[in-house]
Amino acid sequence: MLTVAVRNGWTRCRLLLQPVAFGIRQLSGNRGATTAAQQNWQARVDLAAAYRALDQLGYNEGICNHLSLMTPSADGSGAELMLLVPYGLHWSRVRASDLVGLDAAGRVVEGNGRAETSAATIHRPLHEARPEAKAVFHLHSPYATALSCLQDSRLRMVHQNCLYFLNSIAYDLDYSGVSVQDSEGARLASCLAPDKTCLMMANHGYLVLAETAAMAFHYSYYLERCAMYQLLAMQTGRELKELDPAFAKAAQQDMLKFAERDGDQFFRAVQQKLRDEGSDFEK
């Protein structure tokens, strides 16, 4: 059963349980024959780049975090699949061809390998609940994760880049353990109102939802930076200087006007950096 309560203006979510199924099939080799196949391959390239770049930034832990991206099936069937890294592959080695595609039932129908259980149970229900969110990134970067470990884990408006997240972060206040059931994704989705793009997960890490891999990368990067500024400022023991709420709301509109442009350009620059370093993420 799912229960949601509100405490001090924050959403508190409880757990509900259901099973998820898996299966495996080979990836179609005809990647460039149709528009669907081309879209599928581009999604694979973008997601592989995000895995590689976020690994370089140190935003993951072991092999236990996941990034997912929705894409048309490469076979042109019209089905929409969820791409993610196969279980056991380190982010530093992810290539476009390595990613597995899961269907609506959680079965692997593109690629070789299997999906890690918690990745499937968290990400697919989030995509279903927020269909506009083609990209869902779950990360344990140092500063944002440290912020999630505080009793008061709110991101404060202490830096201009925090304006990206003004009124767009939801807070899951109860750690619910390792996800092994599909319903955990539904529980987390219930914490995210339509106007929320990030979820701080108590004692755990955070989620970022966006329409593209580029914007998910952009917001993941800046959420970590903002958490870093806040925690470093808090270490001084001096009072935080927060932006005036009325001014912050108006200034946010200016930030958001250019967010998509800047996010796309940032992600292209990151991909070029990977190419210059000799990365094989596009294979």
CA distance 160 to 95: 35
Does 24 map to a domain?
no
Rounded to a whole number of angstroms, the CA Rg of the chain reads 19
Query: What's 241's domain CATH number?
Result: 3.40.225.10
CA distance 79 to 225: 37
Does 151 map to a domain?
yes
Tens digit of pLDDT for each residue in 139-188? 999 999 999 999 999 999 999 999 999 999 999 988 876 766 667 788 88
C-alpha 120 chain-centroid distance = 13
Does 31 map to a domain?
no
Which structural domain range is residue 185 located in?
36-277
Does 198 map to a domain?
yes
- Mean pLDDT across the stretch 228-232? 98
Does 185 map to a domain?
yes
Does 169 map to a domain?
yes
Does 122 map to a domain?
yes
What's the domain count of the chain?
Answer: 1
Kindly report the pTM of this predicted structure.
Answer: 0.86
Does 233 map to a domain?
yes
Tens digit of pLDDT for each residue in 1-53? 333 343 333 444 433 222 222 222 333 344 344 599 999 999 999 999 999 99
